[in-house]
């Protein structure tokens, strides 16, 4: 069975806060963030806008990539997002 894993970055309404995460179901996880289904950093800082994601079939590489991105300075994260999403629009087109 071939599974997909996603490393993703989300932000708040004014793009001041960044959250980096990993999941095997991006649609579900974004829904949880948008509806504050889990307590923690993302809910506290109203992180509801998906601005970047990448997909892989290997869970270990997804986790390693998440850890790598989390260590980066903000400027490098901003550049990563801007390459894929120059206007920092919400990429969650699967909203219900």
Q: Which domains does the chain have, with CATH numbers?
A: 5-84 (3.40.1440.10)
Query: How is the chain split among helix, strand and coil, in percent rounded to 5?
Result: 40, 20, 40
Give the pLDDT score at 94: 62
Give the pLDDT score at 2: 83
Q: What is the chain's pLDDT, residue by residue, as a tens digit (96 residues)?
A: 689 999 999 999 999 999 999 999 999 999 999 999 988 999 999 999 999 999 999 999 999 999 999 999 999 999 999 999 999 999 997 644
As a whole number of angstroms, the distance between CA 20 and CA 7 comes to 7
Does this model's pTM top 0.85? My answer is: yes
């Amino acid at each position: 069975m071939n599974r997909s894993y996603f490393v993703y970055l989300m932000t708040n309404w004014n793009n001041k806060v960044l959250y980096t995460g990993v999941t095997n179901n991006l649609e579900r996880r974004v829904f949880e963030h948008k509806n504050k289904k889990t307590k923690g950093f993302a809910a506290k800082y109203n992180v509801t806008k998906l601005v970047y994601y990448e997909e892989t079939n290997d869970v270990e590489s997804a986790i390693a990539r998440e850890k790598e991105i989390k260590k980066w300075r903000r400027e490098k994260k901003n550049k990563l997002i801007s390459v894929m999403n120059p206007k920092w629009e919400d990429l969650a087109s699967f909203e219900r």
